[in-house]
Chains A and B, each alone.
Chain A
Amino acid sequence: GENVEQHPSTLSVQEGDSAVIKCTYSDSASNYFPWYKQELGKRPQLIIDIRSNVGEKKDQRIAVTLNKTAKHFSLHITETQPEDSAVYFCAAKGYGGSQGNLIFGKGTKLSVKP
């Protein structure tokens, strides 16, 4: 089945700097890769997603890139702000026995220091 590895587990940046979170997946058939943001004590919420027919997608200060050959994808946050502080989860669409569901990475705790 699908396996998703996420790095780093914690990330601390200064306000205004960029933050990059990387994920790798194991199943080359996976074709959908969402990113969820979870603020402290809140529920995970989708912030951006990318499908395998696209190499990059941007939405204001956030962007996601996908390298299908290397089987990895990354979240980029530019001009970070304190409200970006949260746990970020990457995910990949499962196949085989887990067909139809999302396999999540372990999460990255991002801290943005003012």
Chain B
Amino acid sequence: DAGVIQSPRHEVTEMGQEVTLRCKPISGHDYLFWYRQTMMRGLELLIYFNNNVPIDDSGMPEDRFSAKMPNASFSTLKIQPSEPRDSAVYFCASSLGLAGYNEQFFGPGTRLTVL
């Protein structure tokens, strides 16, 4: 298995532009997580899905952020409009079985820079 796949690996955009980050979880995994990592705030959970259904989106910072999981093999995290404070590394992770009891496998991350 190729592991969790994220694209793009790097994204540089200008303030106000729409940004879409993509994730393909490990095949068969039923939980998918989106995290944001910054020096100041560490690793923050934004949202997670179980069987394509959003379970907890309390970490989504504001309405500019949205996430979807149209099927078991694909998820997107969208920021519209983007702001410089959104600059961070965004990780997608997946796990098999009950979240919190099973290893979460992280993707390589997307480094987002908003100018």
Contact = CB atoms under 8 A, between A and B. Distances in A.
Interface of A: 32, 34, 42-46, 49, 89, 93-94, 97-107
Interface residues of B, number: 23
Contacts of A107: 42-43
B109 A101 contact: no
- Name the residue in B43, B55, B58, B101 with the highest tally of chain A Cβ atoms < 10 Å from its Cβ: B43
If over half of B's interface residues share one DSSP class (helix, strand or loop), that class is named, otherwise mixed; here it is strand
B56 interface: yes
Contact of B42 (A49, A98, A105): A105
Given A43-B91, A44-B43, A101 B107 contact: no
Interface of B: 31, 33, 41-45, 48, 50, 55-56, 58, 91, 98-101, 103-104, 106-109
30 contacts: A32-B100, A34-B103, A42-B108, A43-B91, A44-B43, A44-B91, A46-B103, A89-B43, A93-B100, A93-B101, A97-B56, A98-B45, A98-B56, A98-B58, A99-B100, A100-B31, A100-B55, A100-B56, A100-B98, A101-B33, A101-B48, A101-B56, A101-B99, A101-B100, A102-B45, A102-B100, A102-B104, A104-B43, A104-B44, A106-B41
